[in-house]
Structure 1
Amino acid sequence: MSNKANKGSFRIISGKYKGRKFEFLPSSDLRPTPDRLRETLFNWLGQVIDRKTCLDLFSGTGSLGLESLSRGAQKVTFVEKNFEHFDKLKGYLKKLGTIEDISIINKDVLAWLDEANDEFDLIFVDPPFYEQLAEKVLLKIKTKSLLAKSGNIYLEVEKDLDLSFLENNWEVIKETNSGKKQYLLLKEK
């Protein structure tokens, strides 16, 4: 019996690494952003990725950061607490043969944000669902001024999450939902 039946996969949609496929072992805390929704996100962003710095928080498979890298991001920083996911992501990067424009950090996102000082043009925030992390992460990003003035945040959260915490600091530029998830593109007010 093949072990392939127990694996999930994702592919890079566009750019330098277009068509490259990556396999992962499904787990309850791993939800790679589906191809169709990644395509929607990058259509929202247009050409904004080229030569930009990106931060992929709660990286998991790293599909968002890898897609950014493929589309010309200058630098991508991945932060993933789970060592198995972190190790698998390192393997993906080695498979691509590119690590010079990459930082990959195996650490709790909130702890890492406490130490972070760099500014990013695009920040992906895809926290585990039902752990009330989105508000805490966005507050740290705002407080530490980690988002560049013309930067954007992509937020992927559970559909039933109360988003009233966005009202004072964040403007929703685009949004959509699918199944049990909602997807938002934000900018600072």
Structure 2
Amino acid sequence: MARNRPASGQVRIIAGQWRSRKLPIQDLEGLRPTTDRVRETLFNWIAGDLPGARVLDCFGGSGALCFEALSRYAKYAKVFELQAGAAKQLKQNLATLKCDCAEVVQGDTLVQLKTPPAEGFDVVFIDPPFRKGLAQACIDGLNAQAWLNEDALVYVETEREHPLLNLPTGWLPLKEKQAGQVTYRLYRVERPEAE
């Protein structure tokens, strides 16, 4: 029988309108919030692209990435999260922040990506549970159904030993770093020009 475990940790927003706010996160299997150090580097990379951006967080988890983006004036965020407990916590944290420009969808990311969105996204976070092959499957799904706007930025975080990603045409590597057991990369997705 599942027992209701209290939130056992916190995630801290680094900068923006909610700077230094701490939000509770659930103690759930596989939940691995992106560290402050990695987040700081990532958001230094993409800071100029966030104001007014539409953001998609493919594996919401603790919400560290989407909350940071919204704090830095992203216009809208959609968050996919498989685990019901984590999705509920994400919704509670959005309510705590009085944020009405984000939507949490509880369900399987790869299933969600099979349906084209009404409107594409400018910044996408792919930070899946490790060692499940989800990063590549997510990239393939995003590309197949036009989830990405022209010149979209895509952040991918994987375990260090992850095999090389098979990137679709038009995905340009911008940045890559390692921290401990994690490799993180940033891509810009260019749309091929119409002939």
TM over 0.5: yes
Letter in 2 for 1:68: A
Letter in 2 for 1:170: W
For structure 1, list consecutive stretches of 5 or more residues without a partner in the other structure.
none
Stretch of structure 1 that moved more, 160-169 or 172-181: 160-169
For structure 2, list consecutive stretches of 5 or more residues without a partner in the other structure.
191-195
- Map of 2:96 onto structure 1: 95
- Per the TM alignment, residue 116 of structure 1 is displaced from its structure 2 partner at its CA by 3.3
Deviations 1:112-166 (A, max 9, x none): 0012323000000011111111111101111112111111100011110111413
- Per the TM alignment, residue 51 of structure 1 is displaced from its structure 2 partner at its CA by 0.3
Letter in 1 for 2:162: L
Aligned length: 185
Q: How big is the alpha-carbon RMSD for the aligned residues of Structure 1 and Structure 2? A: 1.8
Q: How does 1:36-185 map to 2 (within 5 A)?
A: 36-99=37-100, 101-117=101-117, 118-166=119-167, 168-185=169-186
Letter in 1 for 2:65: L
Q: Which has the higher helix share?
A: 1
Deviations 1:58-101 (A, max 9, x none): 100111001110000000001101000000111101110112x1
- Cα distance between partner residues in 2 of 1:61 and 1:169: 30
SS of residue matched to 2:51: coil
What percent identity do the matched residue pairs reach?
A: 32
- Per the TM alignment, residue 177 of structure 1 is displaced from its structure 2 partner at its CA by 0.8
Letter in 1 for 2:103: S
Taking structure 1 as the reference length, what is the TM-score of the superposition? 0.92
Taking structure 2 as the reference length, what is the TM-score of the superposition? 0.89
